[in-house]
Structures are given as structure tokens and as C-alpha cells.
Amino acid sequence: MSHLGALQGLSELLHLDQLAHGSLCDDAQCTTLRRYASMTLTNLTFGHGPNKTLLCSTRPLLAVLSHQLASPNDDLRQVTASVLRNLSWRADSASKDALQQTNVVQSLITMSMETHRESTLKSMLSALWNLSSHSSCNKATICATPGSLEFLVRTLTYKSESKTLSIVESGGGIVRNISSHIATRDDYRATLRRHGCFQILLHHLRSPSLTVVS
């Protein structure tokens, strides 16, 4: 599929459909088309560096994915976050720059705070965990988003219906990555203290899951 141009074709399909119907379209056919196209991109980018590099060089696609995160359809938001998770995992420098310049970090943290379904939140936080390690600019964007630090502290005590620690681990990973930026601002440190972040992290030190605070 990659050799026959599937990546370019799917990218163009998503771009043209958004141009024709808008990023917030809730039409069932549009949503299904975008969801299946994004699912295919998720599969084609899993552990495949060249495919990820190619898609990150396609700026219109990254803009589409950023806008698609605000879709009223939860399934589409989840699969879009999955594509971004794959693209951001072990990304090369050019891909990191492209993801930063197309505002995906701002979109992810904003929509994460508005997401209630566990599986969707898991995908969004996983992508943010990757992106928060890319650059100081991404760290600053996360911290500067109103309510983000309070939200991330809440993820550290998330009660999962599936009895897993995935959201707690991702939230902890993001807090760890952005801590270097938090340390430069008195107001950010005060926010963490006010919401009991340090006590929560100390409690996690006794957790059998070391990945929570790794």
C-alpha cells in the first residue's frame, strides 16, 4: 500500500473532505470516511519510520489531524489521536518541527480536557506524552493552556473503569517531561502545590507499577 501511494492518497482524501465539508462536520458518511482513512494511516505508521516521516512532511495532513481532534464524534477523535501518537513516537527532527508548527500539541491538550471517554483520553494523553518530550516549546504550550496543569494532576489519580494504569502513566509521563519548564515559573509550581501534586507523586513511589513515576 505504501509503495502504491496509499499514504498520499489517504492524506489528500482527508484534506479534500475537510475542505468540502468542514472540520466539525457530523455527517455520518463523512465521519465514517475520515475514521476509516485515519485507521488505515494508524496501521501504516505503526513502527514504520519512513511512512511517519513522509506523512509529517505533508503539512496539510497535519493541519487536518489537528482540526479533526475537535470533531463531535468520539471515535474519530480517538483514531486521530492514535495517528498523532504514532507520528510522534521516536520522530526525527524534521517531523518534530512539523508537528510543533501545526499546533497539534495545543489541540491535544485542549481536547483532552474536554474528553470523558476513557479510550479516547488514553490515546490523546499517549500522543501528548510523546510530544511533550520533543521540545521546550511544546512543554511551554502545555503549561500555558488554561487549566492544563490542574487537569494533568487529576490524571494522576484517574479511576479507570478498565482497571488499568494507562492514563495515570501517561499523565505522569507528561508531568515528568514538562517539569523542567514548570521549575522556571513560580505560578506553575504553586498550582501543583495547590492541587497536591507532590503528595500524589510520593504516594506513587509506593506503587507496584514503577512506570507511573518513571
Residue type at position 141: T
pLDDT of residue 209: 62
User: Which pLDDT band, with edges at 50, 70 and 90, does 214 fall under?
Assistant: very low
**pLDDT per position as a tens digit, 97-122:** 999 999 999 999 999 999 999 999 99
pTM: 0.92
The CATH H-level (homologous superfamily) assignment of domain 6-212 is Leucine-rich Repeat Variant (1.25.10.10)
Buried b (16+ CB within 10 A) or exposed e, 143-160: bebeebbebbbebbebee
Using alpha carbons only, give the angle 160, 193, 124 rounded to the nearest 5 degrees: 35
**pLDDT per position as a tens digit, 50-97:** 999 999 999 999 999 999 999 999 999 999 999 999 999 999 999 999
